[in-house]
Structure 1
Amino acid sequence: MNRRQSSRGRCRVSIAGILLAGFLLASGEEIRPVAIGDSYASGNGAGSYSDTLCMRSNDAASEVAAEFFGVDAINASCNGAWTHHLTEPRMISDMRRDISDPEGFGSAARIASLLAQCGVGMDGAQPDFTIEQTESGFTALCSVTLDPQIQALGDATDVFVTIGGNDLGFVSVASACLIQEDEALCRTAVEDAEERLDGILESERVALVALKEINPDARVHLVPYPRLLEGDLTVGSYDVSGEIEDLQGRWETGLETMADDLNETHGGFYYVGAVTDVWEGHGLAGEEPWIHSDGNIAEILHPTVEGWAATGHAYLVHLGTSILNGHP
């Protein structure tokens, strides 16, 4: 099958999936989605952020899916999260700011800005904000601890999980292979990631079992990362594209196998393969990239708003086909 025929086949599957999602909506199926994981779950790159610490976006994929069903999503994911942050608290911010002004105390606007930076009012955050007087003026002290992400489940019907990229060393791989373009560093970063993968999958398995103990009835959807690279990228003699494609393929297979195994032992586990399908041709150097390659440094190598919308569409395709067909 050539690429055009394959794309047409995926298009038919997507249309069928959206129609089935529509049947879910029409049938009154309850969908209460929760997103947990890292920046590839929070919506980093989409803009419209509800906070500056986790970069949770109102246009994240979980929000796109929730809007289709006319409900609100809970986004407990966070920029920079590692797998253990699904089940353990995380100190995300610890800052100290001088808030003195010529009149001797910080302005109300400045204090309000600091409160926002401190996570006051942020879901799942436990901020500790104090102001102390010093000889030279006033200082604001703030520390923010996030609850374990799985504590946000509540009565969720569907939990979308995207995690492991930070454990794997994604930043090191991107820095060595895409920014520094150093062959030796790139090769080492990718090989290190390959060695970590099995341990990361096992850590995620443990967290997913703990998740089910909190909400046994939730459907849990394991979401792979989008394929970020298109075409042939080499650094020196090192085939970066080929090695990373193999690594992601192995990771996706591991997630799919995990979903199958956990579905047999606990029930309600699914693998969201539709994400990989919808992203084909949209990585870096693709015909229509959905990845930030410049601009806000915090958003670099994260999906654009178009990429997040497409991922949300993939969620809907997945929900329609998996829930109604009863297939993980």
Structure 2
Amino acid sequence: MLRRVRTALVAALAATLGVVAVPGVAQAATVNYVALGDSYSSGVGAGPYDLSTCLRSQKSYAPLWAAAHAVSSFRFPACGGAVTADVINGQVSALSSTTTLVTITIGGNDAGFSDVITSCRFGSTSSCTNAVNTAKSFATGTLPGRLDATYAAIRNRAPNARLVVLGYPRLFETNWCGLLAMSTYKRTILNEAADLLASVIADRAGAAGATFVDTRSAFAGHGVCAADPWSHDVSGVVEAYHPDADGYRYGYLSALTAAIG
């Protein structure tokens, strides 16, 4: 008798909440997923892109994860070129109290990613060194506050969501790969800058109670100059030094899945 009463109560509660409950069978959690961030979230480098100016690709890690997990809802405001202010002033509007999962890559453009890469790919060793040092100084001095404000804005709009912050990979292998490649020294200091950026982002994500996903190990051995690179070199102006479709699937998606399932 008690079992029948308990089953009836569960069924009534489920009906009230709009969930079909089957006694003895665990119910799948509702996942309302919003993917925020910059080009490393929108999928620049993977193609093909939507008709917006944000260069969103369905081959990016976010839509791939959403499709694999049959989420209840998926919103994808991530946009190529975004900085922290763009997330705060525009992208967080996609969030709500019903959002259960938020992922984001952000901070690279604030630190001058494009200018640093341009200086190192086409400039002298000294100009590359100066650009990297400027970016590192920004990453340790100014970026932490911007990240804190971004994560706080996300928490404010989506108080019930799990926040997952993904980092950036090291872009380069440092082996010899031809006369036209960046020097080993330039590639080395760029990788060191990537390590510093990962450290800063991980620290602020932890302070915000977010899950940090370090993608560096997932991309290890697949940087520019590898036999099987997962990142573009200068094959395209927009896509240069962004992951390709394999990078998003086997690098980013694999790292995200390992972290949250």
2:107 to 164, 181, 198: 164
2:222 to 272, 278, 282: 282
In 2 relative to 1, CA 192–297 (structure 1 residues): closer, same or farther, beyond 3 Å?
same
Q: CA deviation at 1:246?
A: 2.3
Q: CA deviation at 1:212?
A: 0.6
Q: How do 1:1-328 residues align onto structure 2 when only pairs under 5 Å count?
A: 28-71=28-71, 72-88=73-89, 148-154=90-96, 155-178=98-121, 180-198=122-140, 199-232=142-175, 239-263=185-209, 269-273=210-214, 275-310=215-250, 311-320=252-261
In 2 relative to 1, CA 306–27 (structure 1 residues): closer, same or farther, beyond 3 Å?
farther
In 2 relative to 1, CA 252–296 (structure 1 residues): closer, same or farther, beyond 3 Å?
closer
How large is the RMSD of aligned CA atoms in angstroms?
Answer: 2.0
Letter in 1 for 2:80: N
Letter in 2 for 1:314: A
Matched-pair contact (CA < 8 Å) for 2:171–2:231:
yes
Letter in 2 for 1:250: L
Matched-pair contact (CA < 8 Å) for 1:63–1:312:
no
Q: CA deviation at 1:31?
A: 2.6
Matched-pair contact (CA < 8 Å) for 1:231–1:285:
yes
Q: Percent identity?
A: 28
- Aligned residue in 2 for 1:9: none
In 2 relative to 1, CA 205–232 (structure 1 residues): closer, same or farther, beyond 3 Å?
farther
Q: CA deviation at 1:210?
A: 1.6
Matched-pair contact (CA < 8 Å) for 2:223–2:231:
yes
**Contiguous gaps of at least 5 residues in structure 2:** 1-25
| 3-state DSSP of counterpart to 1:297 | coil
Deviations 1:267-304 (A, max 9, x none): xx11012x222111111012310112244422121111
| 3-state DSSP of counterpart to 1:299 | coil
Q: CA deviation at 1:52?
A: 4.0
For residues 211 and 232 of structure 1, what CA distance do their matches in structure 2 show?
A: 40
For residues 172 and 27 of structure 2, what CA distance do their matches in structure 1 show?
A: 39
For residues 297 and 251 of structure 1, what CA distance do their matches in structure 2 show?
A: 23
Matched-pair contact (CA < 8 Å) for 1:37–1:81:
yes
Deviations 1:43-92 (A, max 9, x none): 1111131224000111110011111111353111111111111112xxxx
Matched-pair contact (CA < 8 Å) for 1:41–1:162:
yes
Q: CA deviation at 1:33?
A: 2.1
**Contiguous gaps of at least 5 residues in structure 1:** 1-25, 89-147, 264-268, 321-328
Letter in 1 for 2:226: G
For residues 216 and 256 of structure 2, what CA distance do their matches in structure 1 show?
A: 11
Relative to the length of structure 2, the TM-score reads: 0.81
For residues 182 and 45 of structure 2, what CA distance do their matches in structure 1 show?
A: 26
Matched-pair contact (CA < 8 Å) for 2:170–2:195:
no
| 3-state DSSP of counterpart to 1:222 | strand
Matched-pair contact (CA < 8 Å) for 1:65–1:313:
no
Matched-pair contact (CA < 8 Å) for 2:165–2:205:
yes
